[in-house]
Structure 1
Amino acid sequence: MKQLCVWFFLLTLSMQAQFHISGTVRASATNMPLGYATITSAQGNHSVTDVDGRFDLVTKTPLTNLKISYLGYYTTSVTLTPETSYYTIYLDPKQSQSNAVLLAQTNPEIAIIQQTIANKPHNNPQKKLSSFEFTSYNKLIVSAPADSISSKIDSIFVDRAYGKKFSKLDSTNYKIKEMVSEHHLFQTEKVSRYQFANHTLKETILGTKMAGFKQPIYEILAFNLQSFSIYDSSYELFETKYNSPIADNAFKDYTYKILDTVAIGNRDSFMILFKNKKKSRTTGLEGVLYIDTKSFAITKAIMRIKGVIDISGTHEFDYIASEDLWFPIQKSFRIVKGQNDDDIKILGGTIQFDGDTPENFGTRKRAASDYSYLHSESSNFDITYNTPIPLKNIFIAVKLDPKALHQPEQFWEKYRKDSLDLRSQKTYLALDSIAIKKKIASRLRFGRKVINGYVPLRFLDMDLRKIVSYNNYEGFRLGFGGITNEQFSRYIQINGHVAYGTKDDTFKYNLGLATLLNRKSNSWIGIAYTDDVKEIASTVYAIEKKPFKLYDPRPINISTFYNYVGWSGSFETKLLPKTESALVVSSIEVSPLFKYLFKYNGTLYSKYTLTTAMLSMQWSPFSTYMQTPDGRIESEKRFPKFTFQFTKSLPNIAPDAFDFSKIEFKAEHEKKHLNGHKTNLLVEAGFASGAIPLTHLYNNSPNNITKKTIIQRITFASKNSFETMYFNEFFSSEYIYFQFKHSFNRVKIIPKVKPSLVLVSRMGWGDMQKPQQHIGLDYKNLTDGFFESGIELNQLFNGLGLTAFYRYGPNQLPKLEDNIAVKLSFVLKLGL
């Protein structure tokens, strides 16, 4: 859902205030910017410059004077005037550099960081305190400073052979300026109660308001923009984890420099700049740590990433004398546009920016989106600690109180740090009006459904997967299917589909009914009747929801199916912590639609009845969950994930039934690297024992058709299949499968050709117990293993790509070309 949400409030990203001062601090001798210089106003405002020496001060009272200091330079004072809002300030280096030389020789910053790391257990509230709780008020806005946006209406011309021709007037910037002059582009408020006990931090949302939405977007509420704790070994900033500058191994990634000593909370703090050792802008954090000179605790921290977008997170602390502890009282988060010509991915979505490479950034005409920003600020109060706190359901990271959506204005007046200014008040009125006029809620609902493969048709969500598909047995499969939605009932669901195969000239159908048992745990019980076909020896996990694809290439080449007709009963729940579970009991008549006989106890079966009980479970131990009035959702998907499935036949219930059992296992892991690369690991295994027909064993996911030449075998590549393994080449009653994928950043060859290189390696082993039971298909055994490796060049042109795989090892074929598979790939970017 994050993929959809990003388009509602990050389409474009100055604090609303009465007074705004900005500028740059530079060295007078070299004109180089001085990053992280200290800015202090006569009124007590305190800030630092960013890595490029820039600063912004936004206040509600006029500023009269600024004092700027930087280690090794003379402190300078600047008198401010009402008619000037931007200042370039130059600092003169001190003539005597003896102090700087001494610092370089003794490396005191290293000693300070070492002491900070050593004292983390004594300074970390989550280690020192047995428990604590506090209330937090958060406000998030997306806005832009109206006075920075041009209100000019431009003429747009198109190139013609005889010159340029007028096309239309572009009033985009004018409209945005008018809009942000009145209100923000997006705004949300939240009041939460945080509780910590038994090494667990839990958030309960007491109140929430989201401009334009009566029903808030849950994923936004649960999204963690920045780490709560500055002491964790990894610091998270906008969905990416970085090695912390005070991690135990921080010295391998960061360099440090003392900038100054400043007073925070009537105690002195070292002001230490940290920078990542690697030059790449994508490799890590930079910023400033304020460290108490006595306890070596963090008293303030500024964490920043500079690149395609500039992201900064600030943490502020207050000193609790009775506990000799600095406790977090405020944090802020900010995103502004950086300098780059690449697309960027945030919240799982893609945002496109114009070319802003260093050589043309200064000359390109700036659009309204260049000035936009996102700003979030949280304040903590009503802090108590070391008192008993009974926490329930500790695996739920965020809980939304049912009353949170309907809090009166008195509630907000009680918890807001400051009353809403006129611009913020207008934001709620304006966006609520726009949301009604533009039907934002219904469009968001529509988007949610489409992402999951459905189109809402009043009371029914039409299943897009059921409309049309193709395989070698049915030909074109045309159909209609869907499930009733919440407008029909929140407690009863009716689902089904009907399909017709143009090649086999047969109708298939399914009809099911389910009722809600418990909304809190998303528990449903249902029954269904089905007459349909399925690929032989394929593994389908009952708990996994099939992802929506506009096309699914692998089934196109499948020819061997079986027909199954019968009843099934199901029970689905999320009752167990961090799991989704399903129990399915079914009795079906199976008819193989290919030449096959199953031999059991001296009898040959051309069709048979299977009565089974199946337990399927997916466990996501590292994901975070949110409890909402509409049920439990996985608010933050994290890896690894584990899926288990156990099937046991019930031979005494139906005649001619077989006694068997099956167990399957899958583990998935995904790691996103700081340089933009991504590594995926997949492990699957299955084991079947007893009297089990070939239709319900394992085919090891082949995806290569039996044709003589490489060109004839060109089809579309699948995601996790063996691309060089031929259909029906191997079958197993027990198997194990490994897949490794590593994706690199897209490489620009020419403007419209930017392929993404992926390295892939797959291997698998298997065995077939009692092969004499299966008559009709010739197949091989995987005892010696199957190996293939290849490369994918995805998105070469308009989503189309090319892949090539090579088969090697014990099951390599005699002819070289038979071991090579060249496939097409297609990556569809919906911008979601």
Structure 2
Amino acid sequence: MNKYLFGFLFLFSAMLNAQTALNGIVKDASTNKSLPFANIELDNGTKIVSDVDGKFHFVSKENFTTFTVSFLGYEKKIFTFNNIYQTVFLSKKTDNLDEVIVSNENKANKLIEKVIANKDKNNPQKKLNSFQFSTYNKLLVSANPDSISGKIDSVFVTTSLGKMFQKIDSSDYKFKKIIDKQHLFLAEKISRFQFAKPTIKETVIGSKMAGFNEPIYEYFGFELQSFSIYDERYELFETKYKSPIADNSLAEYSFKINDTVSIDNRQTFVIHFKNKLKRKGLEGLLYIDNQNFAVAKAVMRVRGVLNITGIHEFSYYPENDIWFQTKKNFKIIKGKSKEATSILGGRISFEADTNDGNQNTKESSDFTYLASETETYNVQFNTTVKIKKSFIAVDVKEDSIHKNESFWQQNRNGKLDLRSSNTYVVLDSIATANQLEKKIRFGRKIINGYLPFGFFDFDLRYLLSFNNFEGFRFGIGGVTNEQFSKKYKIDAYTAYGLKDETVKYHLGFAARIGNFSNTWIGASYTDDIREIASTNFAIDKRVFKLYDPRPINISTFYNHKTWRGFIETKIIPKTESIWQLSHSEITPLFGYQFDYNGKVFDNFNITSAMVSLQWNPFSDYMQTPNGKLEIEKRFPKFTFQFTKSLPNILENDFDFGKIDFRIDYEKKYLNGQKSTVLAQFGYAFGALPLTHLYNTSPNNLTKDNLLQRITIAGKNSFETMFFNEFFSSEFAMLQLKHGFKRIEIFKKVKPQLVMVTRMAWGNLENSQRHLGIEYKTLEQGFFESGIELNKIFKGFGLSGFYRYGPNQLRRLEDNIAVKLNFVLDLGLD
């Protein structure tokens, strides 16, 4: 009997120490509309705020019996706590509310003006010379078990005989059972932040991710919410919005004082802001110190198909008269919207909610949320801060995944709860049983165009292609992967053209000699063909395409047998570069001869040195144990390539040089539009055959009928320029594009309109040297403009271009090009 009594007392004690959850919504008593950002104060002194939908959820470790709800212009009311979902109704005050609202709006605008005027005095990155602090971050995907009924339902279908039983639906029951014991996903991270004007750097010293022996490092580069509330553009889940305290924010946002509260014994005004120009814009609360006009707390919210919230909490440091951020919270839950929602900077879109409001059944996804909480500790101001490798924004230490439990206990704010501990145990075992890491690795390879098989990744680009010279080209090839070695790799391919009946092949070897710089040294031999006068930057990243449109229509190639030695490295900050020496035996595969110094060449040898370098000065990089990653792509980007022949070495026939330069610029607008600019220049000097000059990427067939010229558009090619129409030894090209937001015509027909203009100028020195081919030059310039309708249906689109200017052709239809296009958008920019 005593043991049963002891068990009962233990259970009762556990219940007394359990956390108490307060859930509900605040509404207007007369209109039944929700009241966003209402103030809620528990009788134990805790203060919370309802969200943008008037909903509130709070878990308290301390007991309470009543709570008070207040909202500007409404009567304050006290409610008794109970364990059910509580709908709170407030009634409007009887005084002249309109005058109060107008007065508060005017006063709020004046306060915001003062906040903007004092931003530099209150922004830690402007006011302080240096600071450093540590953070503990916990990210989880979970659900609140109390919100889920856990019922086992009977599913009926309607037939001619009436409603008939079909099956038992236990999914809700199973989900509640799982979520009651664990989270769906969990990751933890310990970081050290250092700031010394103007550089800020994060060093990850500890990391854990449930289900993974090695974390997915790209997660560390995600910007869930802005680091600073003072940024001109505030960021939520890598989507940027104009900040409510940007310099001209009063033109875009409306402000209203909701209340006054005390934070760290300093009086603050609670200001509600809302975008008055956009229905789905940023909305939230700003807590403004009424003495120095700094932000003491901020709640930022965007609602749509997904409701996304970012909260910034600050502590006041009187010795520095500064509010410094000590806590960040980020949360995503499922919302309702009749408009589509985009996240991750527009790369991923969610369709509008089609629920008409008559359906009360909720699925598991309705209760699931993603939450991230970051706590700051060990804050130090204006101390000596030395930032090593400052060009690295995030540095993930190699031993970060090997920290023991004592390290985590020392750096966590308290112990992990039982659900979190169970999450690691369960997900680790599930991941092992289902080979999750292997499947993710397989998916990554496939997206990049590789099919992994043991220690070798087969390159899907080599399987099948087509051009006018080879006809159908079949091949096989690839590269060894990390299962073979992380220090060495071998790449190879072989291909065969049905039309030219010739075998092509390549074999290469490389060794990694630097981990931090990701430096490889290697050599290769290639016997293959290449388009004449094509400009390739060796440093350009490999791009996998389901198809490559331009080679389909190309018929003029040259064969090259090339020995190559190279060094590929990222040792120079914010650059990637390739340095190489090569020797090629060149044979033109069309009727061409090169007349030089009284000798006519049908084939020739070229020995050259080359450096190809891309510089991304404004991008952010992350260093991981597996290499360097560009985590924040910013523009402009600059690419430079210099090639110089080496006279009298390995029977080199010509003395020449080539300088190539490219500028890429891209600007994304807050309204979803995007502009891009591409400028490219090339200059060749000395004795250089036509095979190695410039053709400025033409993509039009020499056919009389417009319909016969309909092919697939290239990415940056001149769609109205005919193949082999122009050649240059020096050229300049400019491309301007502007893409508008996608327009929904029908449910599945949502084209994106893109306006395009391209222009090029060029010149050809010593044109008399090139025999056997007719061509024109670009002294007078080449101009075309057009419209692309991209992604009309499942990535397929249509485009049309018109050629004008000095090189316009006599027949109208010869100046028009109609092209099909296909855009495969995986959100992997």
Specify if TM > 0.5.
yes
Give the Cα separation in 1 of the matches to 2:463 and 2:109. Answer: 64
Corresponding residue for residue 95 of structure 1: 95
Corresponding residue for residue 306 of structure 2: 309
Structure 1 range deviating more: 522-531 or 247-256: 247-256
Aligned residue pairs: how many?
A: 812
2:413 to 406, 413, 417: 417
**Which residue type is aligned with residue 54 of structure 1?**
K
**Which residue type is aligned with residue 238 of structure 2?**
E
**Which residue type is aligned with residue 571 of structure 1?**
I
Give the Cα separation in 2 of the matches to 1:156 and 1:454. Answer: 44
Q: Residues 541-600 of structure 1: CA distance to partner in whole angstroms, max 9, x if unpaired?
A: 111122111111111111011100121111011111111011111010111111111111
Cα 1:98–1:524 shift into 2, 3 Å: closer
Corresponding residue for residue 390 of structure 1: 386
**Which residue type is aligned with residue 310 of structure 2?**
G
Structure 1: gaps spanning 5 or more residues: 1-16
Cα 1:679–1:101 shift into 2, 3 Å: closer
Corresponding residue for residue 13 of structure 2: none
Structure 1 residue 40: deviation in Å? 1.6
Structure 1 residue 232: deviation in Å? 2.0
Q: Residues 278-337 of structure 1: CA distance to partner in whole angstroms, max 9, x if unpaired?
A: 1341xx422111011111111101111122321111111111111111111001011112
Structure 1 range deviating more: 162-171 or 214-223: 162-171
Structure 1 range deviating more: 752-761 or 359-368: 359-368
Confirm or deny: 8 A CA contact 1:149 1:367 kept in the other structure: no
Q: Residues 426-465 of structure 1: CA distance to partner in whole angstroms, max 9, x if unpaired?
A: 1111111111111110011112212222111111111111
Corresponding residue for residue 340 of structure 1: 337
Q: Residues 249-296 of structure 1: CA distance to partner in whole angstroms, max 9, x if unpaired?
A: 222222211111110111100111111121341xx4221110111111
1:287 to 284, 289, 294: 284
Q: Residues 123-182 of structure 1: CA distance to partner in whole angstroms, max 9, x if unpaired?
A: 111122221111100000011223434646678899999999999876655543333232
Corresponding residue for residue 39 of structure 1: 40
Give the Cα separation in 1 of the matches to 2:808 and 2:99. Answer: 70
Structure 1 residue 349: deviation in Å? 9.0
Tell me, what secondary structure is at the counterpart of 2:409?
Answer: helix
Structure 2: gaps spanning 5 or more residues: 1-17
**Relative contact order, CA 8 A, sep 6+: which one is greater?**
1
Q: Residues 494-535 of structure 1: CA distance to partner in whole angstroms, max 9, x if unpaired?
A: 111111111100001111111111111101111111111111
Corresponding residue for residue 326 of structure 2: 329
Cα 1:651–1:171 shift into 2, 3 Å: farther
2:564 to 568, 576, 584: 568
Confirm or deny: 8 A CA contact 2:131 2:381 kept in the other structure: yes
Confirm or deny: 8 A CA contact 1:729 1:779 kept in the other structure: yes
Answer yes or no: is 1:254 the counterpart of 2:253.
yes
Structure 1 residue 467: deviation in Å? 1.1
Structure 1 range deviating more: 676-685 or 287-296: 676-685
Give the Cα separation in 2 of the matches to 1:620 and 1:504. Answer: 42
Confirm or deny: 8 A CA contact 1:766 1:783 kept in the other structure: yes
Structure 1 residue 89: deviation in Å? 2.4
Structure 1 residue 63: deviation in Å? 3.5
Cα 1:71–1:340 shift into 2, 3 Å: closer
Q: Kindly report which structure 2 residues correspond to 1:136-175, keeping only aligned pairs within 5 A, or say none.
A: 136-149=135-148, 151=150, 173-175=172-174
Q: Residues 671-691 of structure 1: CA distance to partner in whole angstroms, max 9, x if unpaired?
A: 232222222222222111111
Give the Cα separation in 1 of the matches to 2:548 and 2:596. Answer: 36
Cα 1:173–1:505 shift into 2, 3 Å: farther
Give the Cα separation in 1 of the matches to 2:160 and 2:819. Answer: 40
Cα 1:689–1:279 shift into 2, 3 Å: same
Give the Cα separation in 2 of the matches to 1:688 and 1:756. Answer: 38
Corresponding residue for residue 74 of structure 1: 75
Structure 1 residue 779: deviation in Å? 1.0
The alignment's C-alpha RMSD in Å is: 2.5
Give the Cα separation in 1 of the matches to 2:301 and 2:324. Answer: 21
Answer yes or no: is 1:58 the counterpart of 2:59.
yes
Corresponding residue for residue 688 of structure 1: 684
2:627 to 620, 631, 654: 631
Corresponding residue for residue 10 of structure 1: none
Corresponding residue for residue 12 of structure 1: none
Tell me, what secondary structure is at the counterpart of 1:369?
Answer: helix
Answer yes or no: is 1:794 the counterpart of 2:790.
yes
Give the Cα separation in 1 of the matches to 2:806 and 2:150. Answer: 70
Corresponding residue for residue 707 of structure 1: 703
Confirm or deny: 8 A CA contact 1:74 1:94 kept in the other structure: no
Give the Cα separation in 2 of the matches to 1:565 and 1:56. Answer: 69
Normalization by structure 1: what TM-score?
0.93
Q: Kindly report which structure 2 residues correspond to 1:356-435, keeping only aligned pairs within 5 A, or say none.
A: 356-357=353-354, 360-361=356-357, 363=359, 365-435=361-431
Tell me, what secondary structure is at the counterpart of 1:224?
Answer: coil
Q: Residues 616-646 of structure 1: CA distance to partner in whole angstroms, max 9, x if unpaired?
A: 1111122211111222221222332221111
Corresponding residue for residue 609 of structure 1: 605
Give the Cα separation in 1 of the matches to 2:35 and 2:652. Answer: 83
Give the Cα separation in 1 of the matches to 2:738 and 2:497. Answer: 38
Confirm or deny: 8 A CA contact 1:20 1:85 kept in the other structure: no
Cα 1:474–1:101 shift into 2, 3 Å: closer
Confirm or deny: 8 A CA contact 2:757 2:784 kept in the other structure: yes
Cα 1:296–1:349 shift into 2, 3 Å: closer
Corresponding residue for residue 26 of structure 1: 27
Structure 1 range deviating more: 193-202 or 41-50: 41-50
Confirm or deny: 8 A CA contact 1:23 1:89 kept in the other structure: no
Corresponding residue for residue 539 of structure 2: 543
Give the Cα separation in 2 of the matches to 1:754 and 1:295. Answer: 49
Give the Cα separation in 1 of the matches to 2:50 and 2:664. Answer: 43
Answer yes or no: is 1:192 the counterpart of 2:188.
no
Give the Cα separation in 1 of the matches to 2:754 and 2:92. Answer: 52
**Which residue type is aligned with residue 297 of structure 2?**
K
Tell me, what secondary structure is at the counterpart of 2:740?
Answer: strand
Structure 1 range deviating more: 761-770 or 725-734: 761-770
Cα 1:102–1:502 shift into 2, 3 Å: closer
Confirm or deny: 8 A CA contact 1:339 1:361 kept in the other structure: no
1:591 to 577, 587, 592: 587
Confirm or deny: 8 A CA contact 2:52 2:301 kept in the other structure: no
Confirm or deny: 8 A CA contact 2:190 2:411 kept in the other structure: yes
Cα 1:25–1:167 shift into 2, 3 Å: closer
Q: Kindly report which structure 2 residues correspond to 1:445-456, keeping only aligned pairs within 5 A, or say none.
A: 445-456=441-452
Confirm or deny: 8 A CA contact 1:119 1:297 kept in the other structure: yes
Cα 1:415–1:567 shift into 2, 3 Å: same
Q: Kindly report which structure 2 residues correspond to 1:442-521, keeping only aligned pairs within 5 A, or say none.
A: 442-521=438-517
Structure 1 residue 721: deviation in Å? 0.9
Give the Cα separation in 2 of the matches to 1:247 and 1:114. Answer: 10
Structure 1 range deviating more: 148-157 or 719-728: 148-157
Structure 1 range deviating more: 303-312 or 789-798: 789-798
Tell me, what secondary structure is at the counterpart of 1:746?
Answer: coil
**Which residue type is aligned with residue 582 of structure 2?**
S
Structure 1 residue 800: deviation in Å? 2.4
**Which residue type is aligned with residue 234 of structure 1?**
R
Answer yes or no: is 1:649 the counterpart of 2:648.
no
Structure 1 residue 96: deviation in Å? 4.5
Structure 1 range deviating more: 465-474 or 149-158: 149-158
Q: Runs in 1 of length 4+ with deviation above 6 angstroms?
A: 153-170, 348-352
**Which residue type is aligned with residue 20 of structure 1?**
A
Cα 1:155–1:823 shift into 2, 3 Å: farther
Structure 1 range deviating more: 675-684 or 570-579: 675-684
**Which residue type is aligned with residue 403 of structure 1?**
D
Structure 1 range deviating more: 133-142 or 86-95: 86-95
Give the Cα separation in 2 of the matches to 1:160 and 1:677. Answer: 49
Give the Cα separation in 1 of the matches to 2:485 and 2:93. Answer: 73
